[in-house]
Structure 1
Amino acid sequence: MSKSVSLNKPKLSVGVQVLATLIAIAAAFVLPQLFHYIGRVSGVGKSLGVMFCPMHFPVILVGILAGPFAGAATGLLSPLVNSLITGMPAGLSLPLMMVELFGYGLAAGLLRNVRMDCVFKVFIAQIAGRVLRNIAVIIAIYAFGQKTPMFKIWMDVPGAGIGLAMQLVMIPLIVMLVDRHSEKR
């Protein structure tokens, strides 16, 4: 008897997916603001945002919980909403973040029903978003003549190690809690 490669998670209605997307976009706005505020108050500046990647967390989480539509839409819209309200991200960072977060959300959402440990789902989503961002950076460098050196493509990964590790621990925990709660219903 062969094992099924997918889980039988219920298909979510469009309304639930849209609601999940809106909540995740709100979280992807509030969390970075909280980290920027704590950084200002503590005197460490923007480094907390770089270390913890607070906008990435709700994008990956909503993808795993609600699917590819919610993940991809949250990934595309969160940086745009943040930019329109706060001016950050700005310049070339905005489209690069939109591409990166789209990759996180889409990959996480496509893995929603795949039978695999949630830690691996998060890890694959982290890699997918980073790969898409790097492709976008390479296109910006060569197609649009940007002056970003190639070595900078992966330079922010070590600085984000704490946030990446937290995602690998916290997102699977939250998904497990949500799944348990859903099973009780």
Structure 2
Amino acid sequence: MNRRITALGMWLALGFTVSLFFHQFPIKVGQVLLPLHFVVILAGAISGPFVGSISGLLTPLLSALIVGKPPIQPPIAIFMAFELLTYGLITGFLVKRWKSIYLSMLLAWIAGRLVYTLEIIVVAPMLGFQLGTISALSISYLLGLPGVAIQLFLIPVIYRRLGSFKKA
């Protein structure tokens, strides 16, 4: 349990630092490169579903409370928290079960984006927010394709490198 708490602290610190760095830019670099997604998927893959999901839930909320981005009003940080929780949980669970980082990431991306889409289309209007239509969500997803491509390349490399340290 101590190891999980330590890993969780490390991933939260990394996620917060990455968030702080990317929110310094005047343009929406975070929407293009998806840095929090990167950290949480890596946390799930390396530290497992518990640490991945909790880091996914807490990272955007802590960043919102401390830095103000992603925003709490409208509840983007809250919606991101559940999207990232899904990424960390599914990646961690599937990597552990199937040992395939690529398939785990793909299924986590699909599930996480589905959660986010449902939040924006179903939950946001129930809370009185009109955050987007299908076309707005499509544009958002297209903006994130460079980040997904970078993740597809870097996460497996980092995962394998860190896995080789565990075996040594």
The two structures have a TM-score, normalised by structure 2, of 0.90
Deviation at 1:142, TM superposition (A): 4.4
Map of 1:169 onto structure 2: 153
Deviation at 1:77, TM superposition (A): 0.4
Counterpart secondary structure, 2:98: coil
Matched, 1:58 2:39: yes
User: Residue type matched to 1:49 in 2?
Assistant: G
Map Cα deviations across residues 11-64 of structure 1 (whole Å, 9 max, x no partner).
Answer: xxx211111111111111111222233x2xxxxx23211111111111110101
Task: Spell out structure 1 runs of 4+ moving beyond 6 A.
Answer: none
Deviation at 1:155, TM superposition (A): 2.3
Select the structure of larger CA radius of gyration.
1
Map Cα deviations across residues 131-169 of structure 1 (whole Å, 9 max, x no partner).
Answer: 111111122244334223422233211111111111111
Deviation at 1:116, TM superposition (A): 4.4
Map of 1:68 onto structure 2: 49
Which residues of structure 1 form unaligned runs of 5+? 1-13, 40-44
Within 5 Å, which residues of 2 pair with 1:1-185? 14-37=1-24, 39=25, 45-90=26-71, 91=73, 92-151=75-134, 152-184=136-168
The answer (yes or no) to whether the contact 2:19–2:63 under 8 Å persists in 1 is no
Residue identity over aligned pairs, in percent, reads 29
The answer (yes or no) to whether the contact 2:22–2:29 under 8 Å persists in 1 is yes
> Whose helix fraction is larger, Structure 1's or Structure 2's?
2
How many angstroms apart in 2 are the aligned matches of 1:177 and 1:162? 23
The two structures have a TM-score, normalised by structure 1, of 0.82
Map of 1:4 onto structure 2: none
The answer (yes or no) to whether the contact 2:19–2:36 under 8 Å persists in 1 is yes
Counterpart secondary structure, 1:164: helix
Higher mean alpha-carbon deviation, 115-124 vs 141-150, is at 141-150
How much is the aligned-residue C-alpha RMSD, in angstroms? 1.5
